[in-house]
Amino acid sequence: MSTRDRLVDSTRELLWERGYVGTSPKTIQQRAGAGQGSMYHHFAGKEDLAVEAIRKTAAEMRASVETQLSAPGTAVERLAGYLRRERAVLRGCPIGGLTQDPEVMATPALRAPVEETLGWLRDRLADEIHRGLACGELRPPLDPAATAAALVAALQGGYVLARAAGSAEVFDQAIAGILALLAAHAVGHDINTATT
């Protein structure tokens, strides 16, 4: 792995663990096993490196979601599979967690990939819900955009509740609750047993 890649990956992990303010250039360099000169050879500074790290995390998240939502099966099965997929619940969401960092939210370059990714996720889930409606797997009235926003809110809120409780059980309850709401609109399909 190149020094540049080590710097990006170390920054990704530190942002997830400590947030932007809690991640110092010195800590990044120590974790990456890189000197100050190497860091500033590849990046203009901490913000430039953090933007690259957030974008890489966002790209991996998008690819993972796309894989899940492109799996075989019905739209309902894909949505249920996505909601139930394995996550590092007590670590929180590596993208959603950044919304709690005042410095990230106040810095347009850092905020942009976070906002873009969460917007993309809402749109992608809305597309899947729309497919389910079009195929007759979900029954109206079910607004795809509003339902997708509720799914993302349940996921992100589930992370917050689980971290506060120190238990993934609360996250699982949030997912069970949102699945129950979807089940009310599922046609001839038990969403509670849907898997991918």
Q: Is the peptide bond before 140 cis (omega within 30 degrees of 0)?
A: no
Average pLDDT estimate for 18-47: 93
Q: What is the mean pLDDT of residues 102-129?
A: 97
CA 130 to chain centre: 21
Q: How confident is the model at residue 140 (pLDDT cuts 50, 70, 90)?
A: confident
pLDDT band at 36 (very low <50, low <70, confident <90, very high): confident
- pLDDT of 187 > 90? The answer is no
| Residue-range domains of the chain with CATH | 57-193 (1.10.357.10)
Average pLDDT over residues 104-122: 97
Per-residue pLDDT at 71: 94
Residues 6+ apart with CB under 8 A from 164: 170
Per-residue confidence (pLDDT) for residue 194, from 0 to 100: 47
Q: What is the pLDDT of residue 189?
A: 55
Cβ-Cβ contacts under 8 Å for 170 (sequence gap 6 or more): 158, 161, 162, 164
Spatial separation of the C-alpha atoms in residues 22 and 45, rounded to whole Å: 15
Mean pLDDT of 16-40: 93
Total-model pTM: 0.91
pLDDT attached to residue 190: 55
